[in-house]
Structure 1
Amino acid sequence: MEEAIFFNRDLSWLSFNERVLLQADKPTVPLLERIKFLSIYSSNLDEFYRVRMPVLMAVKAQTEEPGNYERAQIEIDRQQQKFGSIIATQILPDLAKHHVHWVYNKPIPDHISTKVVTLFFNEVLAFIHTVCINDQLTDFFAENNKLYQLVILEDKEGKERLELIHVPSDVLPRLYAIVDGEEQYVVFLEDLIKYNLAYLFPDDRIKGVFNLKITRDAELKIETDLFEDITEALERQLERRDFGFATRLLCEPGIPLRNLYYIVYVLNLKNASVVEGGAYHNLKDLSNFPIQGTAFSYPKWPATESIKIPETTTLFELILKRDLLISVPYQSYDPILRFFNEAANDRYTEEIYTTLYRVADNSRIVNALITAARNGKKVTVLVELKARFDEANNIKWAKKMKTAGVQLIYSSLDLKVHAKVALVKRRTKDRCDYLGLLATGNLNEGTARFYTDHILLTAHQAMLKELEALFGFLSENKKAPLPEDMIDFQHLIVAQFNLQSRFLDLIQREIDHAKSGGKAGITIKLNNLEEQVLIKKLYEASQAGVKVRLIIRGICCLIPGRVGLSENITVTRIVDRYLEHGRVFLFENNGRHELFMGSADWMNRNIYSRVEVCFPVYDEELKQLLIKIINLQLDDNVQESIYLFLQNKI
């Protein structure tokens, strides 16, 4: 059998999520942060079941051969065992050393029982609703990712009955801290309910109690007619998302098979994977674990002031003099907010263009755009309504902007706009100037606190005129550029236009340098690497003797270090307190380094079905700064070195 030259994308992603999980196993990581990594792992896995498992299930249905679905399930089961082991052997003992007792999969201690009963009656009981599922149900629907308790009861005549209780963790805290002298006990909401079941079912014998969760497909199937607003069609689908087909029934071990089969039948879960997990589900709620204290958390890394703006100078005046770079969250996001605030009130600004993919819930950037429109500026915003799991927030802001007079553009149903760019057009008495913001991450002041990204502020006129031409194309809402739409990009690298071909050419140039004895090297930092044409080109570069250094956070379908294929390729993975999110592309170019950044991972979706924007960094000082950051990351897989470097401490 021919040896595979690509890793499977889903198994690769699962290996990334395991690295997240293993952060919880590190004694060097503060205790509360380790619990948060358990939360992130659980949240990631839930999304995998909502987004990728439906795809794997569809493939499985088309073939009887064991495939990636089975391999993924085996890997998830193994990781779930590791998850439970980390809690039992690491987290619980370490919490106990600090007089915190997490009541995890064991009886509630008798000496706090009075407080548990009081909590139940005072805070929980009002939200409890039970449903008998012994009869054929016609109007009950088990919602996506909601927690349920299956209670197996026996009445006085010995007849068995099944009841479902919705665990109201969507309106109540999932974890309760109960203080008892100098000790603190942390108790799950479902255990509070379980402890008080005798009150809910006083005439029955409780034979068993088991926690359940159902995960449903998250795919939206949007269809519009000629006269329907896309926002209306999307809102209609969002209402239905949590009613998609079930991909997983996650259950506590030990449910009698006859009861489990009946649940699958009566809740219409016959096509879902039945997965035995631990005693508890939705452990993404651990992000709100109720302990506090500096000893439990990371030491603070205050963001530095990356750009010093004199009182007599505006940010726009600085940008017109030189390019500026902000690296968040190490450096303050304030200049980005100021960019939009100045644009909204600057008397010379005539037009503002920007893309919005994921914005903050209370976005100051969007509020600045609304102010700009009210101040008489022409404001054009491409809102990507199809940003998965952010659709509702984007619809909310789109409606507010439309009311304020912002001109909105929506991408076509077949093409997501994932670019992170903004353009300001200013006109003074004697000239017209463009100022631009080009970023590797979303224009979101919330995620900028824990996503590592780079933002370039520039007045490079030729590059920004290309950006203006791109906005012109986007305003036409086409599925893909036709021959007459093609823009001759000399500076920008844009998916749907020249992204794949340009990167192939840049890799080929390094191959040519290597073959002619010149200096050749490629360093690329991405979230995900999947697209096979580009991977094969990197293999070709390796075979030509080009040293290829990759920093890949998540999916990596490239196999490094294989003799005859990729022995000159190394892959570095970084999982730490911040989410690595920036995309950087560095080419040695025989000693004349070229460096690009941008929004594009090398995934099939980024290359073939999205609009992405990558851009060059021309300023030599900024280029050397970025090269230093990348080299630090290649030398060390923790982020403290970057923080110290940008603090001028190393």
Structure 2
Amino acid sequence: MPRAKQTASKFHLDDPQYYLNRELSWLEFNRRVLHEAIDIRTPLLERIKFTAIFSANLDEFFMVRVAILREQVEAQVGTLTPDGRTPEQQLAEISQQLRPMLVQQHQLFEQDLRPQLAKNSIHILNYIDLSQDQQTYLHQYFEKRIFPVLTPLAVDPAHPFPQMSNLSLNLAVVIKDPDTGEQDFARVKVPSNLSRFVTFPKELQQYKGESCLWLGVPLEQVIAHNLSLLFPGMEIQEYYPFRVTRDADLDVQEYEADDLLLAIEQELRKRLRGGSVLRLQIPTSTSEFVRQKLMQGMSLTELEVYETEGLLGLKDLMALTAIPCPSLKDSPWTPVIPARLKGLAPQLDTRIDADDRGDGLDIFSVIQQQDLLVHHPYESFTASVETFITHAATDPDVLAIKMTLYRTSGDTLPKALMQAAENGKQVVVLVELKARFDEENNINWARRLEDAGVHVVYGLVGFKTHTKVVLVVRQEADQIRRYVHIGTGNYSPKTAKLYTDLGLLSCREDLGADLTDLFNYLTGFSKQRSYRKLLISPMTMRDRITAMIRREIQHCQQGQPGRIIAKMNSLTDVEMIRTLYEASQAGVQIDLIVRGMCCLRPGISGISENIRVVSIVGRFLEHSRIFYFHNNEETELYLGSADWMRRNLDRRVEAVTPIEDPAIKQTLTDTLHLLLSDTRQAWLLHADGRYTQLRPQENEAECSAQQRLMELTQHH
């Protein structure tokens, strides 16, 4: 039984010692990703996948988070973070913590994963290890397929140092004129629109006399060993690959933009050219001459230079996960059709197996019977959310469809919305143009939707619209009924197979009325501030969540148990953390399931000893947000799109819905407890910011929550 601790007045809860640094916490998250690549319990090609994810995550971290810190340094911002660090201190500590992790990652790949791939007949070979026939093939391949694409750029008084595009892989080449003896420097960009690994025809897929399952050579090595064709008559003295990461955060002055679409497009063009260089990756073997040439050409300090043993740009290893070798991968998973949707009428979804179709039911009648919770990727996105939207588009009784699109993939849902507009329905889509790194995709869809007659809006000036909601208005007999989907994840069939997300399908009148008000707020000049059921950022969510935490405090003060379980991606908001500290001091038992950044320090005596924080990093990316409040045995449960970060609570439009159906409440409660019992992919956060992976007790079976959820879904 938790004990009430000393009151908050005896502690200064804004003291920096009680907060973890956001950026360093993110690095700890990526360390947990790397551990999945290290863990021998993970199948080999999945370990390769996590190695690639680790690198891809770092690219984005530099392009956005490091970019912001660099801008703060240049602007001489002296503001301290809640943990008491300056921007300069954060950049220095990022470098200090990251470099050993990179050494670990590259040693893992070169000394462990690469040899294991070779044992399984998967070879990433160096050019010099190829047979003469293979080198001849690559020489011919280079002449026909690569050489025409390349553009060598000289660097001399007549040719200034070239602009390096973001995330580009390049070759730094030192050449000598045999006639004059002069030494020159040139840059050759490795084409990003060609495969990173060049493979061979079947008859040449051999190594040391044995046939290979897969054999490839890094593209930069193929170019490097044919440089004489690019510089005829010159002597190639040395060459080294290098990789550049630039500031890619968009800087859109929304209040000054007459047309947000055009403003975003202009910023995207700037991103392609690139902002300031934030990271230069080079091999440890790079000569001092080339190193200094690159640093001077891009105005870099030692802090921005990262030396690497082995291949650069390991995110390109993701290509290997497509190799058809099931024994080296997780067992395949096919999302299950929710039991209540297996009886859908044949016309509703031709993709649903004929044996699972019934007669007479449609998805709207299923929702009328009872609210429906869907849990991806355990349950099928196609058979639930896609079906809801695609058949609303063709149902003659549907009058209107309103939807927010933050990110999407594929074309099923946008095409359904276009078809709905062509069918004469009122279709409104809020396309968030500022969805980071999806801006171009969203602009393309916005234009196509507009051309099809869909009313497209771009959200609110100064706010991102991050909420994931759909409203369908349907004429039924003599009444109008509103159907809703409120979710935690994007309307993306691709990520629905990779991310764990939840969605509620309902026709409750109060939820339909709330979404009607929300869309009026998003598309018109409504100043709606209050909602019946939904918690909406930036209006009501912060105050309502804070009030529910304080209610648990009051229950403890009255001698009743207090209990909170909250699952989210990140917890960085200082006010929310402070309120959780106050709850812990009052004796509220708090379990937090935070996948990524967490700035709260658990386990501090007198501050947070009643708070436990775990992070789950596994086969699927934990993305759902669930909030549980015991409320003196009158449990309240919520799900939605918002993390407990300042941006989500104050600077984004978010929606979180209460769960009122008793069966769904129980399902979510069971899911939370299952996640808290994980001893395979769960990590426990300690007060000093370290994480340790949880293990089963002696004589206790290992529990993987994600694996267990797959098993439970299959048997339902």
Give the TM-score band, short-chain normalised: over 0.9
Cα distance, 1:36 vs structure 2: 1.0
Cα distance, 1:312 vs structure 2: 0.8
Normalising by structure 1, report the TM-score. Answer: 0.94
> 1:108 & 1:199 partners in 2: Cα distance?
21
Question: Secondary structure, in 3 states, of the residue corresponding to 1:153?
Answer: strand
Cα distance, 1:407 vs structure 2: 1.2
> 1:404 & 1:446 partners in 2: Cα distance?
24
> 1:440 & 1:425 partners in 2: Cα distance?
22
- Alignment RMSD, CA only? 2.3
- 95, 100, 104: which is aligned to 1:73? 95
User: 1:159 maps to which residue?
Assistant: 182
Q: Write the deviation string for residues 51-77 of structure 1: whole angstroms up to 9, x where unpaired.
A: 011112233342699501100011111
For the 8 Å contact 1:524–1:549, the answer to whether it is kept is yes
User: 1:26 maps to which residue?
Assistant: 39
User: 2:342 maps to which residue?
Assistant: 308
Cα distance, 1:192 vs structure 2: 1.4
Question: Secondary structure, in 3 states, of the residue corresponding to 2:236?
Answer: strand
Question: Secondary structure, in 3 states, of the residue corresponding to 1:612?
Answer: strand
User: 1:528 maps to which residue?
Assistant: 570
Q: Write the deviation string for residues 126-176 of structure 1: whole angstroms up to 9, x where unpaired.
A: 322211113343594211111100011223243211121111132334353
Cα distance, 1:369 vs structure 2: 1.0
> 1:648 & 1:172 partners in 2: Cα distance?
42
Q: Which runs of 5+ in 2 are unaligned?
A: 1-11, 79-85, 344-357, 682-703
Cα distance, 1:350 vs structure 2: 1.3
**Pair 256,447 (structure 1): closer, same or farther in 2 beyond 3 Å:** same
Question: Secondary structure, in 3 states, of the residue corresponding to 1:641?
Answer: helix
Moved more, 612-621 or 52-61: 52-61
> 1:412 & 1:436 partners in 2: Cα distance?
22
Which amino acid counterpart does residue 333 of structure 2 have in structure 1? W
Which amino acid counterpart does residue 237 of structure 1 have in structure 2? E
For the 8 Å contact 1:587–1:594, the answer to whether it is kept is yes
> 2:35 & 2:239 partners in 1: Cα distance?
31
Moved more, 635-644 or 383-392: 635-644
- 453, 475, 478: which is aligned to 2:501? 453
> 2:182 & 2:589 partners in 1: Cα distance?
72
Q: Write the deviation string for residues 335-358 of structure 1: whole angstroms up to 9, x where unpaired.
A: 111111221122221121111100
User: 1:598 maps to which residue?
Assistant: 640
Taking the TM superposition and a 5 Å limit, the aligned residue runs for 1:33-44 are 33-44=46-57
1:251 matched to 2:251? The reply is no
For the 8 Å contact 1:176–1:188, the answer to whether it is kept is no
1:293 matched to 2:360? The reply is no
Q: Which runs of 5+ in 1 are unaligned?
A: none
Percent identity of paired positions between Structure 1 and Structure 2: 34
Q: Write the deviation string for residues 20-45 of structure 1: whole angstroms up to 9, x where unpaired.
A: 11111111111111111111111110
User: 1:352 maps to which residue?
Assistant: 401
Q: Write the deviation string for residues 60-105 of structure 1: whole angstroms up to 9, x where unpaired.
A: 342699501100011111110011111123202211221333236x
1:630 matched to 2:662? The reply is no
For the 8 Å contact 2:277–2:298, the answer to whether it is kept is no
User: 1:616 maps to which residue?
Assistant: 658
> 1:437 & 1:271 partners in 2: Cα distance?
50
Taking the TM superposition and a 5 Å limit, the aligned residue runs for 1:7-22 are 7-22=20-35
Cα distance, 1:183 vs structure 2: 4.1
For the 8 Å contact 2:95–2:303, the answer to whether it is kept is no
Normalising by structure 2, report the TM-score. Answer: 0.85
1:170 matched to 2:193? The reply is yes
Which amino acid counterpart does residue 31 of structure 2 have in structure 1? E
Cα distance, 1:3 vs structure 2: 6.1
Taking the TM superposition and a 5 Å limit, the aligned residue runs for 1:354-393 are 354-360=403-409, 362-393=410-441
For the 8 Å contact 1:136–1:266, the answer to whether it is kept is no
User: 2:373 maps to which residue?
Assistant: 325
Which amino acid counterpart does residue 248 of structure 1 have in structure 2? R
Cα distance, 1:272 vs structure 2: 8.2
Question: Secondary structure, in 3 states, of the residue corresponding to 2:580?
Answer: helix
Question: Secondary structure, in 3 states, of the residue corresponding to 2:240?
Answer: strand
User: 2:699 maps to which residue?
Assistant: none
Question: Secondary structure, in 3 states, of the residue corresponding to 2:673?
Answer: helix
Cα distance, 1:122 vs structure 2: 3.9
Q: Write the deviation string for residues 544-592 of structure 1: whole angstroms up to 9, x where unpaired.
A: 1111111111111111112111111111111111111000001111122
- 204, 209, 213: which is aligned to 2:243? 213
For the 8 Å contact 1:25–1:90, the answer to whether it is kept is no
> 2:58 & 2:268 partners in 1: Cα distance?
21
Taking the TM superposition and a 5 Å limit, the aligned residue runs for 1:131-210 are 131-138=153-160, 140-156=162-178, 157-176=180-199, 179-180=205-206, 181-184=209-212, 185-210=215-240
Which amino acid counterpart does residue 319 of structure 2 have in structure 1? N
